[in-house]
Chain A
């Protein structure tokens, strides 16, 4: 890998301008298409000011069949990762590829495909990376059970320490007047 040319690993924020760059490419063509008048601009500003209140998701309206389908769409796109801006869900990301994938998911929903089929469609193209919930298979055993192993290891260490301390405690009780000695408190 060439430092500088490709996104530098230490400059994690390199991802952000890249997402931005791609969006401006499209903003440019949009601006050409609709020269906004003064009044329109004020309206646009008002809309933008209130857009934040509407809570994400509503990047572009889609003609859902009913409210249930809309909820299903939102639920599904929140479980999927945008391949471009990888810290965003498909629901939240404004990257062009996220928009395309949202449209594709919408089309597949209209065709009556299940959530599982849609996920498989995306995994076949973009790998498990698009799933926020990684599947349980031999490659992810460490990921799933690693924390449990660490927890068990920690519990083992604590148990050994307590046992040692108890043994040290009972041996100091017998000779009574010896005073406090090192309780084996090595930690």
Chain B
């Protein structure tokens, strides 16, 4: 019997290895869980991309839920996400607000002119300081913020049709049920 112990130990390690592989196919190993989930979104006051003289603050957006989508013209994966936003944006039932992150305004405008503008409103954070308060560390990232200004859902990486159907839309439905 005890001669089997090394074999059993080996099989345990194989099992652990297999579990590790399985786990990593189900989870994005690089996504950092945000501590801000279900907490009030940080205060911000950022210029509009197309009218930089005007700013938009968190208080201005209270009362209506919105999806804050962090994007940039230099971000390759944002190009992957863009057609999904264009197609799914109008069906979400919430405002789509573009958060232009660490981007030259002219580059951002050129990118939107080329690919189309799926956003209801665009704000720009060229220095990227406000993004630190949101825990943003790259683009794309998306925050679902409810009418009271609470972050209800965050997705790191591009929104794909699967993520929209399986995560974002259920999160929006749950949010609208609670605070219409």
Q: Which residues of A contact B (CB under 8 A)?
A: 1-3, 5-7, 9-10, 15, 18, 21-22, 24-26, 28-29, 83-84, 86, 96-97, 100-101, 104, 123-127, 129, 186-187
Which residues from B are CB-within-8-Å of A18? Answer: 76, 138
Contact, CB under 8 Å: B32 / A6 = no
Contact, CB under 8 Å: A5 / B132 = no
What separation, in Å, do the CA atoms of A9 and B24 have in the docked complex? 6
Which residues from B are CB-within-8-Å of A10? Answer: 21, 24
The 7 A-B pairs with the shortest beta carbon distances in the complex, nearest first, are A25-B74, A9-B24, A83-B137, A186-B2, A125-B135, A97-B137, A129-B32
Which residues from A are CB-within-8-Å of B27? Answer: 1, 9
What separation, in Å, do the CA atoms of A100 and B28 have in the docked complex? 24
Which residues from B are CB-within-8-Å of A97? Answer: 128, 136-138
Contact, CB under 8 Å: B158 / A26 = no
What separation, in Å, do the CA atoms of A129 and B138 have in the docked complex? 15
Contact, CB under 8 Å: B3 / A186 = yes
Q: Which residues of B contact A (CB under 8 A)?
A: 2-3, 5-6, 21, 24-30, 32-36, 72, 74-76, 80, 102, 104, 127-129, 131-138, 157-158, 160, 162
What separation, in Å, do the CA atoms of A22 and B136 have in the docked complex? 14
Contact, CB under 8 Å: B158 / A96 = no
Shortest C-beta distance, A63 to chain B (Å), equals 18
Known contacts A5-B158, A84-B137: A100-B132 contact under CB 8 Å = yes
Which residues from A are CB-within-8-Å of B136? Answer: 97
Chain B residue nearest to A164 in the complex (CB)? B2
Shortest C-beta distance, B140 to chain A (Å), equals 11
Contact, CB under 8 Å: B160 / A2 = yes
* Neighbour of A86 across the interface among B30, B35, B76, B127, CB < 8 A: B30
What separation, in Å, do the CA atoms of A15 and B137 have in the docked complex? 13
* Neighbour of A29 across the interface among B32, B80, B104, CB < 8 A: B104
Contact, CB under 8 Å: B32 / A83 = yes
* Neighbour of A127 across the interface among B2, B33, B74, CB < 8 A: B33
Shortest C-beta distance, B54 to chain A (Å), equals 25
* Neighbour of A7 across the interface among B2, B30, B35, CB < 8 A: B30
Which residues from A are CB-within-8-Å of B21? Answer: 9-10
Shortest C-beta distance, A150 to chain B (Å), equals 12
Which residues from B are CB-within-8-Å of A9? Answer: 21, 24-25, 27-29
Chain A residue nearest to B136 in the complex (CB)? A97
Contact, CB under 8 Å: B158 / A1 = no
Chain B residue nearest to A98 in the complex (CB)? B137
* Neighbour of B128 across the interface among A2, A25, A100, CB < 8 A: A100
What separation, in Å, do the CA atoms of A186 and B5 have in the docked complex? 9
Known contacts A2-B162, A104-B132: A126-B25 contact under CB 8 Å = no
Shortest C-beta distance, A164 to chain B (Å), equals 9
Which residues from A are CB-within-8-Å of B132? Answer: 100-101, 104, 125
Contact, CB under 8 Å: B35 / A5 = no
New contact pairs (18) apart from A21-B75, A83-B137, A104-B129, CB-CB < 8 Å = A1-B27, A1-B162, A5-B158, A6-B28, A9-B27, A15-B30, A18-B138, A22-B74, A22-B75, A22-B138, A29-B104, A97-B136, A101-B132, A125-B132, A125-B133, A125-B135, A126-B135, A187-B2
Contact, CB under 8 Å: B102 / A96 = yes
Which residues from A are CB-within-8-Å of B131? Answer: 100
Shortest C-beta distance, A24 to chain B (Å), equals 8
